[in-house]
A = this chain, B = another copy of it.
Amino acid sequence: MDKKKNISMAVIKRLPKYYRYLQELKNNDVDRISSKELSEKIGFTASQIRQDLNCFGDFGQQGYGYNVKELYDQIKNILGLKKEYNTIIIGAGNIGQAIANYINFQKIGFTLTSIFDINPKLFGLKIRDIEISDIDTLDSFLKKHTVDIAIICVPSKNAQSICEVIVKNGVKGIWNFAPIDLNTPENVIVENVHLSESLLTLSCLLNGDI
């Protein structure tokens, strides 16, 4: 798991897809797979698959290919899925509630520990047994609890100030659903989900003048 450094973002962005296909193969009791076979399923070239995997180690074997279970485990580890993460959701609107209700993240090690909102009508309501708290208590909550990932689902005008509160309290990972580019120190990882940008990409491509 420690071969080359400076893995490019292009490679990292492909890893979850490898993971998904390997999980499927594992579930179908496939024992081994060659880069060529995987290539046909996943749609990357065999060459690229070998290059990608080689960033992290010699996972294959000449003449044989890759052991599915082993490769799956390696990628699971690279993706950080051997660990557990404490998460909080900030903003219990449409998206915040949808994410809160989504139990699959719990299953793979992302534990939702609290939900915050600005709307008093929501205080005390529970989603999957987790109470929605006053956003004014966020700062003190963070001082008492370790949070690995904060999921920002507030309107964009509030996102930066929320971001500063959580960063100040040592949160290192942000999953940002607000349609804004957050300003953070270098050591904080921000992963954006910009739904409207995705929809606009679709409408752009639909107007095939391109």
Contact = CB atoms under 8 A, between A and B. Distances in A.
Contact of A80 (B78, B175, B207): B207
Nearest to A103: B94
Nearest to A187: B208
Nearest to A193: B198
Contacts of A104: 196
A207 B148 CA distance: 11
Nearest to A100: B94
Nearest to A96: B98
Interface in A94-135: 94-95, 97-99, 101-102, 104-105, 108, 110
A49 interface: no
A201 B80 CA distance: 9
Stoichiometry (number of copies):
2
Contacts of A181: 43
A191 B198 contact: yes
A149 interface: yes
A203 B79 contact: yes
Contacts of A143: none
Contacts of A149: 202-203, 206
B12 A205 contact: yes
Given A16-B196, A16-B197, A98-B98, A85 B203 contact: yes
Nearest to A200: B16
Given A13-B201, A16-B200, A102 B94 contact: yes
A43 B190 CA distance: 15
B191 A175 contact: no
A105 B197 CA distance: 11
Given A17-B197, A105-B199, A1 B209 contact: yes
Interface of A: 1-2, 5, 7, 12-13, 15-17, 19-20, 43, 78-81, 83, 85, 94-95, 97-99, 101-102, 104-105, 108, 110, 148-149, 172-173, 175, 179, 181, 189, 191, 193-207, 209-210
